[in-house]
Every structure is written in structure tokens, then in C-alpha cells.
């Protein structure tokens, strides 16, 4: 097994101040499943394996980021223990995120072992595409079945402006590499930003159609203090649909990929156009997801600050997953009924950056 050595003093410090999980009385679950107190069944885990990224996207992180010390980040073995425990509790879909997950050393080791877990139906990766050109084939061989690739613009200068340091040509080559090795259901993720990329929505959909892939437009979420208000840049789903319908016929679809996106089909093409709308079409009633950060914090809701720290449990009980399992089940008791991003656009209550929580 691959091993990552850690500084014992740093580990000891990370265990200090640990707050035990909620009591069993606050949660509701059937044996072997994860059901919150509102009756929602959690079957989908989004796990961030690093807070680091080779881009600095303006809506995701600050230009000058301070990243976590190594001792405060989950080892790959700890990531695997978390996923094993979740799949044993009925989770069938796992998405690996970052930061940029492909900058994590030995990430293929982890992906290969997750893909073999009993009960897992789908292993998915979210990436900025910067590393795909060289890793696409290995990802396919490791058992990753779907890729979500962030792409907010097709204009090189604008791409550099949004990502601060990214190379669009490299990402486009990565998309082609993923298609070439057989990833049949690629999806682009585009964050909608008024005045920054809303004039490209039609071009982005046409790009997806030409490539035979899907695209999802995402309403910007107020996570992290990025130094300016978001109210002026917010672009909603209904306006985006209206704009796209000036060029394309969009037919509502009941298809789902297990996440929050609602999809439309473009007749005569293979492309699905999705919208993830945390503001205009709150999807909390059907939420089936929880997130674990690279620091081992389990967030039952993206739009709330309530979390349970799993890292101290993992390190205090290196050969016993029972405390980890109990903490995960008890966390169902603090899963919020819903989020409200409307009041947070200019002064976000959730101050962690998206790169810290995972895309």
C-alpha cells in the first residue's frame, strides 16, 4: 500500500479540540443506509482530495491563496477509508474533486482502489482539464467512468483572465484526449457570469454539440470572500434558457446524472444542456449529496457551515472504522433542510472558498 508519512507533532495538534459527533438521537437512519431527518436518502459522496489547484479562478479562490499544510490534509489511505465507509452505508456514486484533483500525487492509486469497491456504481472526476492530455487514458483504465470539465469561455485571453494563469489550448487538447480514449459522456461545467462570459453561452453550447458532449450551466454560488460582491455578475437560469432558445430548440428532459442538474435535449444532437440553479430553482428537497473536504470535514450541506471533523477520528482509530461510521450516520442529523444563497450574494455567510470544499 502507498504510504504518506506525517509529522507526529502535527498529527497530535490536528487531534486537539476535537468535538464529538452529534448524538444518535438527532439522526434518523435505517441500518446500512444514510437517511436524514427529512427522509432524504444520501447516495452520493463528493470528496475533495486537495485544496490545491494549478488555476486561480476568480469565482473559486483568492489570487494569493494560503494552502493547507500537508499534515492537515487527508492522506490517500484516509480518503479510501472514508469512501469505503460511505459505500458500505449505501453510497453508490462518488465524485472526486479538488482544487484540481489531478495535481495530487498518486491520485491514480486512489482512483483505482475506489473503482473496485463493492456497491459503487459510478466513479466520477471533476477537473479543470489542465492535466487531461497526459492522464486521460490512465483515468479510464483506473475505472473513472465520467468526467466533468470546467470551461467558462472559448476565448484564450478571457480564459486567462478568469483562471488568472490557465492555458485554454491545453484544456481543449485535454478534452479531445478524453474523447479519444473513450469517455463517452463528457460534460462541460460553465459558471454563468454576467458581463464576463454570458455573451458566449451560445458558442459554448455549439462547441458541446460539435464535440458530441454535454454542458451544464451553473448559477454562481456565494462561497468565500473573493473581494467583490457577486450581485452584479449573477446570471440566472431562466434568462440563460431564453438566450439559448434564440439559436437552439431545447426540449425538457427527465434524465438525471444523480446530481442537481436539470436537463434539456437539443433535437438531432447527442448533447444535453443542463442547469444547476441553487438560486432560482432550489433543489434541496431532493438533495442526495454530502461533501468531504480535503481536510476531512464532512459538510452535509454546501450552503451551511455545519460540519463534522472526520480527520481526528481517522487518526485516533487507524484500524477501527466503527467510530467513523457512527460519525457519518450521526451527521445526517445536522443536514439542513435547505440553503438560502439569496441573502449571501454580497456578504457570504459561508466564508470557505469553493476550492476548499470541492467542486
Distance, in Å, from the CA atom of 78 to the CA atom of 293, rounded to the nearest integer, reads 12
Buried b or exposed e, range 318-335, using 16+ CB within 10 angstroms: eeebebbbbbbbbbbbbb
Show the beta-strand stretches assigned E in the chain: 44-48, 93-97, 122-127, 146-150, 187-192, 214-219, 251-253, 262-265, 272-276, 289-292, 297-299, 308-309
Give the pLDDT score at 181. 97
Instruction: Give residue for cell 432558445.
Output: 245
Distance, in Å, from the CA atom of 207 to the CA atom of 214, rounded to the nearest integer, reads 10
Distance, in Å, from the CA atom of 327 to the CA atom of 138, rounded to the nearest integer, reads 34
Angle at 165 between CA 130 and CA 295, to 5 degrees: 70
pLDDT of 33 over the 80 cut:
no
Say which residue, 260 or 40, is predicted with more confidence. Answer: 40
User: What cell was used for 182?
Assistant: 473513450
Q: What is the pLDDT of residues 116-140, one digit of tens each?
A: 999 999 999 999 999 999 999 999 9
pTM of the model: 0.85
Domain 38-357 belongs to what topology?
TIM Barrel (3.20.20)
Chain mean pLDDT for the chain = 85
Give the pLDDT score at 17. 38
pLDDT of 354 over the 50 cut:
yes
Q: What is the pLDDT of residues 299-327, one digit of tens each?
A: 998 777 789 999 999 999 999 999 999 99
Angle at 323 between CA 320 and CA 329, to 5 degrees: 135
What's the number of CA atoms in the CB half-sphere (13 Å) around residue 25? Answer: 0
- Section 87-115 average pLDDT: 96
pLDDT of 240 over the 90 cut:
yes
Distance, in Å, from the CA atom of 127 to the CA atom of 170, rounded to the nearest integer, reads 13
pLDDT of 19 over the 50 cut:
no
Lowest mean pLDDT among 188-197, 245-254, 295-304: 295-304
Amino acid at each position: 500500500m502507498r504510504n504518506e508519512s506525517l509529522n507526529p507533532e502535527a498529527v497530535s495538534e490536528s487531534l486537539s479540540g476535537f468535538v464529538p459527533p452529534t448524538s444518535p438521537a438527532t439522526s434518523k437512519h435505517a441500518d446500512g443506509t444514510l437517511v436524514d431527518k427529512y427522509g432524504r436518502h444520501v447516495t452520493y459522496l463528493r470528496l475533495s482530495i486537495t485544496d490545491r489547484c494549478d488555476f486561480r479562478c476568480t469565482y473559486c479562490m483568492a489570487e494569493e491563496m494560503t494552502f493547507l499544510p500537508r499534515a492537515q490534509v487527508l492522506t490517500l489511505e484516509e480518503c479510501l477509508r472514508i469512501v469505503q465507509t460511505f459505500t458500505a452505508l449505501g453510497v453508490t456514486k462518488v465524485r472526486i474533486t479538488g482544487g484540481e484533483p489531478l495535481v495530487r500525487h498518486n491520485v491514480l492509486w486512489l482512483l483505482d482502489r475506489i473503482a473496485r469497491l463493492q456497491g459503487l456504481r459510478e466513479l466520477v472526476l471533476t477537473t479543470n482539464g489542465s492535466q487531461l492530455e497526459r492522464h486521460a487514458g490512465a483515468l479510464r483504465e483506473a475505472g473513472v467512468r465520467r468526467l466533468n470539465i470546467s470551461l467558462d469561455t472559448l476565448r484564450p485571453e478571457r480564459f486567462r483572465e478568469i483562471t488568472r494563469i490557465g492555458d485554454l489550448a491545453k484544456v481543449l487538447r485535454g478534452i479531445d484526449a478524453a474523447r479519444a480514449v473513450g469517455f463517452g459522456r463528457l460534460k462541460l461545467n460553465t459558471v454563468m457570469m454576467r458581463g464576463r462570459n454570458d455573451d458566449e453561452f451560445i458558442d459554448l453550447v455549439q462547441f458541446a454539440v460539435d464535440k458530441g458532449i454535454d454542458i451544464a450551466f451553473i448559477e454562481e454560488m456565494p462561497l468565500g470572500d473573493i473581494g467583490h460582491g457577486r450581485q452584479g455578475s449573477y446570471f440566472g437560469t431562466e434568462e440563460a434558457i431564453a438566450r439559448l432558445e434564440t439559436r437552439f430548440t431545447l426540449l425538457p428532459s427527465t434524465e438525471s446524472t444523480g446530481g442537481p442538474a436539470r436537463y434539456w435535449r437539443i433535437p438531432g444532437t447527442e448533447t444535453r444542456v443542463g442547469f444547476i440553479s441553487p438560486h432560482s430553482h432550489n433543489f434541496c428537497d431532493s438533495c442526495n449529496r454530502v461533501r468531504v473536504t480535503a481536510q476531512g470535514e464532512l459538510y452535509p450541506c454546501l450552503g451551511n457551515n455545519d460540519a463534522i471533523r472526520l480527520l481526528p477520528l481517522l487518526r485516533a482509530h487507524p484500524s477501527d472504522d466503527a467510530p467513523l461510521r457512527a460519525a457519518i450516520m450521526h451527521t445526517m442529523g445536522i443536514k439542513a433542510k435547505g440553503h438560502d444563497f439569496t441573502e449571501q450574494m454580497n456578504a457570504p455567510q459561508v466564508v470557505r472558498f469553493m476550492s476548499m470544499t470541492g467542486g
